[in-house]
Amino acid sequence: MDKGDLDRLIADRYRLLHLLGQGSMGTVWAAHDEVLRRQVAVKGILRPPGMPDVAADELRERTMREARAVAALSHPNLVTLYDVVQHDGDPYVVMEIVPSRSLGEVLQEQGCLTEKQGAAVLDAIAAALASAHRAGITHRDVKPGNVLIADDGRVKLTDFGIARNVAEATMTARGITLGTPAYIAPEVAQGGDVSEAADRWSLGATLWAAMAGEPPYVGKNVMQTINAVINGDVPVPAGAGRLAPVISGLMRKDPAERMSLVDVRKQVYQLLPEPGTDAFEVRAPVVPPVVVRPKPKIAPDAPLADDPGPLPFLVTRPSAPPRRRSRLVSALVVVAAVLLFLAGSGGGFALTRLAAGASLLPPAERTSPTLPTLPTAPTLQPRTAAAVTANGDQGGKFTLNVEQSWTTYTEQRSADQRFPASAVVHFVSGSGAYEVTVQRFPEYYPKRDIRAYVLGVQGRWPSRFFGGERVPTPDLPGPRSEDSIQFVYKTVEGDEPTALRRSHFSRVLPYGNDLWVVEVTVPTEQEDEARVRLFDAIASTFAPV
């Protein structure tokens, strides 16, 4: 966000505090309502540089249509629109801020939903869509990234950024599909009209992903995924239990045969959590039992085996990365993914698997011996971004050398039992093989220290986290409460023998009262080379502004 936007007053009422995110359809700020004295979200139109005036007028009109559509809705499972204002000739939409995680983030944290959690999401989103459909509004982009799980357990449907009133003339060219391909209805993928039945398919596909831990359709590229949606068989719901018939009823190729939202709610009623309980309440992780295998018999004069190398979780000095020998085992941990904020057809297509909580790498590449080419130092260029949370804190701006072509977006993470609230800025390569994240915990000190952060990461992966020695790392200039450290840990997605292994290099940097974490994620097969060419080259350039 430009410095000129800080403390800017919109319509003499809404004071912009900081940027929440930016997508193809607009920019969203956290703001303060000076009249009612409450936190709100303000969405303004985003006019891309060089856009002709005619196209800009169409974009403004689409924003107003969004406002009119959402303003017609009032339901506890929908994000509430408070106001629509004009400022300097541009429209701004004022909406509620919901302290929450997206369903996509929940999936990347726990893998998939329980039956009660799935029932709660199905019931809530079915109710939200029924309310929208009664008002003549289709959502067009139901997916895990647009389902919010509030901190108090409520489930809300958000981002009607491409919704429209079906009574109004379309502004979208015929044949251009909207939405995310893994969740798009077959008839829409073929260029047909978006109907209420299309939203029901997307709801079924969303719950398919929520129960299986991955989208129902995946491919190496957009067209491959769309081809599977149109011509492939509807996959049998995996891990859905008693919700499987409902999901299958929603995912019928013929729109006329899809289960109604009323029937969906009737079917899941008996599976809902007890009244007054929160199906998404954070619970202590279950640690699998340790299997102890007998030691092999070794002859007294048998030679010793080669040194297996460093532990799977290792703290290293960036200036002198150790050479590694062949490992005997690899640490297995669930891969971390992130919430995609970008809305609209462009960003949604590019990052479908992220929004669903799955890896950016498609399954077909897991067994391929060909790995993406690592970027080289000359292609890394300075980029500026801001990691600010939704609670109104200021600052958070930083610079970092990253490839200019890599996609960037910001994620808000609510406080939980392990970590305080934070903001995460993601930089993702075009292939999805490499990712750089910058996470900021504002006002982390003096209540916490680095040890608490490391224990939090370890607690997140209780059965698969391996600890090692921590060594000092170059500190940021300025005051700090303790010295910096860095470490490496590994994660895995999927089952053997096609498991996708990722290595995560983390640099933890105290800065004033804040804690910053710069992390570079790469395929484990390229770990040694990536340590120097990516982690050392990128992390050493990080600097708060």
Residue 338, both tokens: 């992130």
**What is residue 314's DSSP assignment?**
B
Residue in the block written with tokens 């329980």: 114
**Among candidates 155, 120, 125, 154, which has minimal Cα distance to 141?**
125
Joined together, the tokens standing for residue 389 give: 């949370």
Select from 197, 199, 526 the least CA-distant residue to 375. 526
How many other C-beta atoms are found inside a 10 Å radius of the C-beta of residue 170? 10
Provide CB contacts within 8 A for 461, sequence distance 6+. Answer: 333, 334, 489, 491
Q: Which tokens go with 73?
A: 């809705």
Tokens 């484990």 -> residue:
524
Amino acid at residue number 42: V
* End-to-end C-alpha distance for the chain, whole angstroms: 13
Q: Which residues contact 413 (CB under 8 A, 6 or more apart)?
A: 101, 105, 419, 421, 422, 423, 424, 439
List 5, 83, 88, 141, catalytic entry: 141
Residue 33 annotated among the catalytic residues of the structure: no
- Is 156 annotated as a binding-site member? no
- Residue 461 is given by DSSP the state S
Q: How far apart are CA 489 and CA 477, in angstroms?
A: 27
497: cis peptide before it, omega within 30°? yes
Quote the DSSP letter at residue 328.
S
DSSP 3-state of 302 = coil
Q: Are 230 and 186 in contact (CB under 8 A)?
A: yes
Q: Tokens in use for 203? A: 């709801």
**Residue (of 442, 426, 422) closest to 434 by Cα position:** 426
| Residue 225 tokens, joined | 């995924």
The token duo for 371 is 């790995």
- Hey, what are 103's tokens? 């369903």
Active site residues: 141
Binding-site annotation: residue ranges for ATP:
43
Binding site: which residues? 43
